[in-house]
Amino acid sequence: MKKQLLAFTLILILLPLAACADFTPEHAIAYMDSHFTCGCERGGSGVMIGRRGLVTAAHNLYCEKHARPLKYCNFHFGAKSANSCWYKYSGKFAYKVYSTFSNGYDARDDIAAVVFDSPVGKETGWFGWRVGTDSYINEEYCNVLSYDFRRHMQNEFSIEYVLNDRQIYWSGWSSGTEGGPVYFWQEGMDYPEVIAVYTSHDSSGNGYGRRLTNNVINDMRADGAFN
């Protein structure tokens, strides 16, 4: 009986370590092929931040030109090319967008949460998240990861700055698709922490991100993204 208890305790202790060793950031990031009811299509990126929850840019779920919603979208996690990925999800999901672009594009609200019907995170793993304070964001370096249109991962590493209570910016932008994570992952941290999603860039070469705020996290929690 004691031996069984010891074995059970060891499993409990070792399980999180095993999960940690298996974590591959690219597997938790999806290339999204979004098809809208207006007929437009676009490629995007999104990142898992819970067992069922993914965050992305709102304009991957609503057409920013015509304010029309998705017709369908496939999620290619850990994509390597147009035909190869770690895990593909084409099932049902719910989503909440912070802008439908009915008054034109607005980067400040260009964020959305997807909640999958299945626990996709069991296959892909997921990032941690942080509601970053202004001083924290202004002092830290971060990575931006997103797929390009060949579905190859693009990485940008930079110091980032607060633009306002909803947005950050940084010098240098990834040429990848929008919606991928802006995250910290430093020595001593077991998992990367998403602080924003990549939304856009300007002609001077600055990248912009929509911050992960308490509102977004609370909505995702209420919608079951962390269940």
| Beta-strand relationship, 206-211 and 167-171 | antiparallel
The span from the CA of 109 to the CA of 4, in Å, is 53
Query: What one-letter code names the amino acid at 157?
Result: F
Q: Which is nearer to Zn ion, 63 or 145 (CB)?
A: 63
Q: How far is the CB of 101 from Zn ion (least distance, A)?
A: 10
Q: How far apart are CA 227 and CA 224, in angstroms?
A: 5
Q: Toward Zn ion, which CB reaches closer, 38 or 163? A: 38
Nearest to Zn ion of 28, 63 (CB atom):
63
**In the complex, least distance from residue 105 CB atom to Zn ion, rounded to whole angstroms:** 12
CB atoms within 10 A of CB 141: 12
Q: Can residue 153 be called a binding residue for Zn ion (CB under 5 A)?
A: no
The three-state secondary structure class of 21 is helix
Q: How far is the CB of 166 from Zn ion (least distance, A)?
A: 24
65 versus 88: smaller Cβ distance to Zn ion: 65
Residue nearer to Zn ion on the CB measure, 67 or 163? 67
Of 32-40, 123-131, 148-156, 157-165, the segment contacting Zn ion by CB under 5 A is 32-40
Q: How far is the CB of 192 from Zn ion (least distance, A)?
A: 33
Which residues within the stretch 59-98 sit at the binding site for Zn ion (CB under 5 A)? 63, 65-66
Contact 160, 144 (CB under 8 A): no
- Asked if residue 48 lies in contact with residue 120, where contact means CB atoms within 8 angstroms, the answer is yes
Backbone angles phi, psi at 20, to 5 degrees: -65, -45
Which tokens in the block code for residue 24? 């591959």
In degrees and rounded to multiples of 5, residue 5 shows phi and psi of: -65, -40
Stretch that binds Zn ion, among 18-26, 31-39, 115-123, 131-139 (CB under 5 A): 31-39
**Can you tell me which of 26, 35, 38, 100 binds Zn ion, judged by CB under 5 A?**
38
Please identify, using beta-carbon distances, which residue of 62 and 173 lies nearer to Zn ion: 62
Distance of CA 148 to the CA centre of its chain: 15
* CB-neighbour burial class of residue 135 (10 A; exposed 0-12, middle 13-18, buried 19+): exposed
Q: Which stretch binds Zn ion (CB under 5 A): 1-9, 37-45, 50-58, 183-191?
A: 37-45
User: Considering only residues 109-148, where is the footprint of Zn ion by CB under 5 A?
Assistant: none
* From candidates 26, 35, 40, 223, binder to Zn ion by CB under 5 A: 40
Which residues contribute to the site for Zn ion (CB under 5 A)?
38, 40, 63, 65-66
